[in-house]
Structure 1
Amino acid sequence: MNLNFFSLKSLIVLGFAIAVIPLFVGVMYAAYGLRETAALGRTINSQVFEQTKTVRLVLQKSSDIERKARLFVLLSDPSLRQPYERESYEAARASFRQALNDLLKLHVDNKIALLVNELSEKENLIYQQIIGAESEETPILPLDEAFQGLRESSNTLSREFEAHVEHTFNELRQLSESLEQGLMVKGAVLLTCSTAFVLILLLLLSRSMQQLDGAIRRLDAGELEEPVEVAGPTDMRYLGERLESLRSHLLALETSKQHLMQNIAREIDLPLQAIRDGAYRLNHPGNPQVLHPQQDFVRELVGQIDKLQGVSEQLQHYSQLQTQQDASAKQTIDLKVLLESVLDKQQAALQAKSLKVKKLIKPIRLQGVQEQLAAMFEHLLVNAIQYSPSAGEIRIMLREAGEQVELEIEDDGPGIASEERAQVFEPFYRGKSAVNHKVGDHSGLGLAMVREYVNHHQGTVEIIDSRQDHPGTRVRVQLPLNPEA
């Protein structure tokens, strides 16, 4: 069974329907069968009752007509016979024939109908003999055998009708037993099908649950190589997809952590190597390779130690950014005033390289964390200053773009290759430009911290294509004017 097109809710409803509908159908079928059987029983009982009553009437009338006929024969002398006696005989005979006709109208079976006709013929034969003998002077009365035949036919009709009634009720009982057996068989089949379907459904759901449990256990154990695959209903597959997304995210975090550790090791290793070299020179003053006085070595050692201290401080600051998001510190900030203050602090660095700043800054007010926005401006400006050639130009634009604030900082430096633009925001990542031009002796966390600052303000930061007339690095930051709480 393919459950990919079903949700867990629909499967629960389907399972309930599969379990209840056959039961409902079975009950309705049983009710219908019982109703039909009861109706048939009532009909048969009514028919048998009417037939029994009519047969008894026929047998009674048969006895009456035999008695009337014998009395009529005994009074064979017309001078002794009264007129009403013949009328009484004729009336009894008419009543007998009416009873026979009533019995035939009840749709009795053929055998009983033949016996009724035979009884009618024997009675008619007796009548013909009695009436024929009445017209003669000497009556011929061979009637004992005729009366005996009439009684035998009546008895035969009685026995046959009893057998018919017994046969009819036996058929009704067999029909009831057949209906009961059919209900039992159909109920067993429906119950078996429902049970089989529910078991299959539980088996498939259990398999999905086992797949989810196995995936969670692997993630908990740190086994991230095997992808998460969950088959079954849409709900289960959605949970599997979410777990797969989590696995991919954890794998990316693990890879990023490994790169971070490698970059931290490299950032610390270079100053440590310089410190070791300086210490060796101080320990061997007579070394012919010593080209600088000791105070230069001490100055170099202090610089490397300061660099290590800066790396440590930046790491602590970056760690705090990833674990803390204090929304209560936000306030209304004039971004133009803030950016101008950051530019004032960088005047010395700008003048040292004779850099020109071309700016288009609009007054914009924004809800944000002032320290983070100032640090973001500072990191972007420091990068632009470091990568700009002497006597170059830095272009700054701050404006509103729809529902967003848009900041662009562009320099005339070597630029960043398109394949490196996403990676430069990773901690300690150094692109080809930084390595080839030997710039950026900072901690390597500047752009990573910029991304964190922007994320805290629900914005985006990216490296975009530079202008044709100004090759270099062009950074764009977009912050929403009305960030969500």
Structure 2
Amino acid sequence: MRLPYPRSFSSLLLAGFALVTLPLLTGMGYTAYVQERLATQTRQAISLTLQVTRTTRQLAEDISSLQRSAGQFYVLRDPQLRNGMRDAHEAIGRALRTLHALPYGPSNTERLRQLALREGVLYAQLSDPANVGLRRFDSFTEDFTRLSRLADQLTVAGNAMVDDQVASLTRRAQTLRTVLLLQAAAAVLLSVLIAGLFSWLLNRPVRQIDQAIRRLGAGDLQPQPPVRGPIDLVFLGQQLDWLRQRLRELDEQKLRFLRHVSHELKTPLASLREGVELLADGVGGRLSGQQREIAQIMRGNARDLQQRIENLINYSRAQRQLDPLVSSGVDLPDLLDALVRRNELALRAKRLRVERSGQTPLLKADAGKLDTLFENLLINAMRFSPEGGVIRLDLRAGPDAVDVTVCDQGPGVAEHDRAHLFKPFFQGSRQPPSAAPGNGLGLAIAQEYAQLHGGGVRLCDTPGQAGACFCVHLPFDISLQPGSTTASTSMTHQPSVQDDDPGWQQTQPCQHP
């Protein structure tokens, strides 16, 4: 059975704060209670100590007073002196009654009884008129000595009882200190556990919302698990789901629009290109040099327009991962050579030369997407290369990956453009003056397709050299995206290069073989 959340985030926070402070408040209350008990016991012990000390001292003084009064009476035989004997006798009785009420123990209680009995017999003898004239006072010395000895024993017993009280209070204080330390540790531990529990309860819906926002930001428009938590956060999660549905509808509308535009543009463009090709081939008649030059310009512009349309469609499909990877053995040198031959006319138009170096083994990859990837890089190099320049294609095979470098001799990339280089529709500040403006999707598409293969594209530094170099990293064993297929055997998912190396996108030196 799942416990219900409070109705709001603030009420959950207040409940967590109250439960966290509850063990601490309980501990403080218990501490105050036991300290009050210890203080009461201390006051009782102090009162008992004072009573025992005062009474035993008074008892010794009363016995001395009885002995002194009796001696004076027996010497002077003054009847008034009997009052002093009587007062001392009564004071001894009061002291004995007070001591008898104290927790002296059985042995000391017997001493009190004997002292009371002996003192009563001695007082009776001292008060007997027959003894006044017949006995000398010296004959009672032994009796007074016994009384004094019993009083001293009671004083020693009282001191021992006081010592026991002090030792008992010390033990109780030590026990209380240990209990309070354990209680404080338990209260802190319990508070930390409750705080951890409520922190998890508070962070759980926040993490769910954060993950939903991150997925939306990454373009993942699939349904997300519902947010569980306080009602206000649940409502916020529902609003995010509404936003996801709205974004999905807009994305579908965008795809429909792109499909519609591509269909509406590619059909007349195909007819236009066919007409231009027929015109350039002289089907309609022999062309003059100026007419042939115009036909070549029209042919190039038509091809460029088709490339832009295809880039728009390819980038949208790559972002949505609508085309799964079809893995097969790809010979990168052959693919690059075929790519150069396909763009031979454009290369001749700018008198560009392509130099390829290096060999690589067969690569498990999607040949069509790699062709698009390197064609975009080659077209970018052609666009920025000066007339009569050289484009270098360098291949290097590592233990677990292939690195391909595409370098041109153009103006290079400005420092402030490097952070935005692979963003869609971004146009750098160093545009060639003679070239038609591009759509800023070539490098973005190349990056998307490289990441689909578990690799990436980065801008490499070229110390001492003009132009820009783009390094493509492709692992031999690609990480297929969900829904991908393979022409041979299926491969398990592995993390991409960007996951393993956070600095892959950063600019790094480029080395040429």
Q: TM-score, normalised by structure 2?
A: 0.46
Which of the two has higher C-alpha Rg?
Answer: 1
Q: TM-score, normalised by structure 1?
A: 0.48
